[in-house]
Chains A and B, each alone.
Chain A
């Protein structure tokens, strides 16, 4: 067995143009060095039934042995308020907030702390290893702790308060649940004498959702992370009782005339950033780290408005997770200036080594776009990197019990999957949930992603390279840009090209991407959508951070988790997320087809429909017999219509002039429609009895002589190489591409 994980890493940025630098961030637990070279990827699928792995060495100064070192990844989001004069020497104080704990971990989870880890001096409000709310103050000599007798209830709002009085020598702890019915009522009111002095005169930040460890790299600065939401935390310069503190916490707009109000943090401000704002007159602003979920409903959320931009005062919470990660923050190990004249395409840094008699080969993917402002070919391929990032280190086959039934077969894992499962610090995908079962809604390219590169995970990246392989086999020159390039550059990037190709599964799409494609199509562009389940989920790229995207799953669609009510809008932009269909832009409006079903057991074939004989569409089927079955072969489930498939639907936006040329509606019992395809529940919806689970081939003329051609299946491109590339899937694809390259209006 060849190893692929003895050295791992990531490139930044993912997309580079000639003349620009790409950095490689690498780590190995066991290797001191590895042999490196840059390769261009033509086919990344090792399946012996297909074309096989095809890579081309790109000579570079990196050729040869490069040194390696081991670096950790630290997870867990938190908030941090830098030390301030007001915090120093605080003799009497109270803290309070609403919290919504989501999991009891068996360890301490700190809600709010100011503690000098070096001396142990300070205080912290936390949920202890038994799940009970606790407040501890400590100094060099010892500590005093008071603890509630009952564990907190998870997924219930709880007002929490603690105070310390140096002058009285007391500490207090109180809590009160928001809901009181059905066993939800919790009430805590405790006080005790304390002789310790947590009064800090040293520079020590305040922290939310974690405490400082006092350590520095390579160790984690923080520990005892909290899982759940924190809403409206307050710090007050007197020792108040619970009722007094609650009135201060509940006030969305704090009383600025109150001289004892030290901090009133309002997480509903600066939601799209990593900043947290203090609404008190003291301006104790801070920031959050490792992307906790913002735009979270607070304890005061009424449900009358579901977008944080419409009622920000009800979105004063942040949901923290102890497994949040956005940037592995590994140092740069190598860098490469992409030379002028290099071919645009999919590239990797390939690292090889031998370790204990086992050969390691590990790839670090990146993409070379054409020189900025230029094109080097008439065909543009859009690498669906938003989808790659969405699927990053997908654990769903392991974590989700339904997966084997959904996949209609035994789960086949790669070595990368097993490694990523063992190393959860690499982070998860949009298909996964955090430790507390809340959905992963941010995903970043700035960490090792093991399943979107040459290797054993065939979805997306590996499948997509079958299209590159076929283009090169046929001698079609192409340029490559990424989803993020399209998001930031818009339609101007597409305009110079005669044909734009989108790949096997461009599922995750931002508004800028969709607008760019739509503008291109509407101005004479030719778009070939050679995949399935594309343009389905609405995402956003972070406004400034490269490679960071956000998505919220709504309460429809093929969803592996659901956002909490009121939390379906993107914190980056305020847009609704969920399905594009829910935003009035079903995929059918763009490509003529939209997601209809999954078919994992047996691939289907297409049969020609009357539109395929129309003179306007005759070029598509040129060379095929009138009744020729299309795509009854392929590397994925044995058919060109398989995995995830799309259908035309005039009601959902398929254009009036669209020609439905062929259909694969023989999907059998394994053809299961997407949830949003079923308005009510009824029997007989599988592909055995219903043609709603089908893939359609659609040609749509667009304005100014443009056109869109769609095949509606992920598996299409994985059939291109069948019989030495001599098959009707390849023939149709070539017919259309050749015609689309011809500037004569369609």
Chain B
């Protein structure tokens, strides 16, 4: 039996490296520096702060925030009040949540 586990992600994110957050904000789809890649991989593997995703509202036009279940077969929660007109904006929204969950620090508002 072959399974993957979110517990395997263990890279420690340096909360002072706001330059990496800025780099992500500038280009959520990359290309990214090796340092930023490690941050992103940690975030995406561990699901810290929530297994966030989006659900398409209108193809190619609008997406709503959603959260995948922590427990298998659990409910997918959708947040119709939080929508995005670009996937880059959605990436940044989730990056913010995860940064705070993993470092304990919220990213400055002015980074938006």
Contacts and interface: CB of A to CB of B under 8 A. Distances in A.
A413 B45 CA distance: 18
Contact of A418 (B1, B51, B78): B78
B41 interface: yes
A51 interface: no
Given A669-B31, A670-B30, A1 B57 contact: yes
A670 B29 CA distance: 10
B3 A398 contact: no
Nearest to A638: B29
Given A410-B53, A418-B55, A668-B31, A561 B1 contact: yes
Interface stretch (A42-50, A157-165, A521-529, A698-706): A42-50
A417 B94 CA distance: 20
- Residue of B1, B78, B94 contacting most chain A CB atoms (<10 Å): B1
B91 A410 contact: yes
B1 A421 contact: no
Contact of A399 (B59, B61, B72): B72
A438 interface: yes
B6 A401 contact: yes
B76 A411 contact: no
A559 interface: yes
A410 B90 contact: yes
A404 B44 CA distance: 6
B30 A413 contact: no
Contacts of B91: 409-410
Contacts of B31: 601-602, 668-669
A412 B63 contact: yes
B101 to A, nearest CB: 15
A271 B66 CA distance: 44
B16 interface: no
Given A399-B72, A602-B30, A456 B56 contact: yes
Given A399-B72, A421-B76, A412 B29 contact: no
B58 interface: yes
A410 B39 CA distance: 14
A48 B60 contact: yes
A399 B68 CA distance: 9
A251 interface: no
Contact of B52 (A155, A410, A418): A410
Contacts of A421: 76
B6 to A, nearest CB: 5
Contacts of B3: 437
Contact of A401 (B1, B4, B41): B4
Given A401-B6, A437-B3, A456-B59, A411 B30 contact: no
A410 B87 contact: yes
Given A601-B29, A602-B30, A669-B37, A437 B1 contact: yes
Contacts of B69: 398
Nearest to B33: A669
A559 B68 CA distance: 22
A438 B14 CA distance: 39
B69 to A, nearest CB: 8
B29 A414 contact: no
6 contacts: A398-B69, A405-B44, A410-B53, A412-B87, A414-B55, A438-B1
Interface of A: 1, 46-49, 155, 397-402, 404-405, 408-415, 417-418, 421-422, 424, 435, 437-438, 456, 559, 561-562, 564, 601-602, 668-670
Which 3 residue pairs spanning A and B have beta carbons closest together?
A: A46-B59, A411-B53, A404-B44
